[in-house]
């Protein structure tokens, strides 16, 4: 009777179980990732204007730029010269790779 009670107290149920189903492992990993995830910041008019201006300057002057791109887990950076600006598709090409303007949260 006392061993049964110990299994149900605290973390005893998980410690007494040596096997976990793949579905449980998957859900635990998803939960841990959700905790680390962050929301995309909201950019307002002035911030967007600065971003667009710096992208245009890089395109016109062929100067190097660093785009800060949003990711749920860590911000990434794209460094290079803006080669093309696609206003219809709302994207820019930096060193041969296309990036969506909506993913850009900053410019350095």
Domain ranges, ordered by start, for the chain: 2-36, 45-107
Q: Give pLDDT tens digits for 70-80.
A: 988 888 899 99
Q: Give pLDDT tens digits for 48-72.
A: 999 999 999 999 999 999 999 998 8
Q: Domain 45-107 class?
A: mainly beta
Residue 78 CB neighbour total at 10 angstroms: 17
Distances (CA, A) of 90 to 19, 25, 69, 99: 49, 39, 14, 9
> How many Å is the maximal CA-CA distance in the chain?
79
- Best CA proximity match to 69, nearest among 108, 106, 44: 106
Contact partners, residue 29, CB within 8 Å, separation at least 6: none
**Is pTM beyond 0.75 here?**
no
């Amino acid at each position: 009777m006392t061993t049964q009670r110990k299994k149900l107290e605290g973390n005893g149920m998980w410690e007494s179980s040596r096997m976990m189903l793949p579905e449980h492992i998957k859900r635990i990993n998803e939960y841990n990732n959700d905790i680390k995830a962050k929301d995309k910041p909201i950019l307002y008019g002035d911030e967007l204007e600065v971003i667009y201006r710096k992208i245009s300057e890089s395109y016109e002057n062929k100067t190097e730029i660093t785009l800060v791109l949003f990711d749920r887990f860590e911000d990434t950076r794209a460094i290079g010269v803006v080669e093309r600006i696609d206003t219809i598709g709302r994207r820019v090409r930096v060193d041969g790779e296309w990036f969506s303007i909506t993913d850009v949260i900053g410019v350095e």
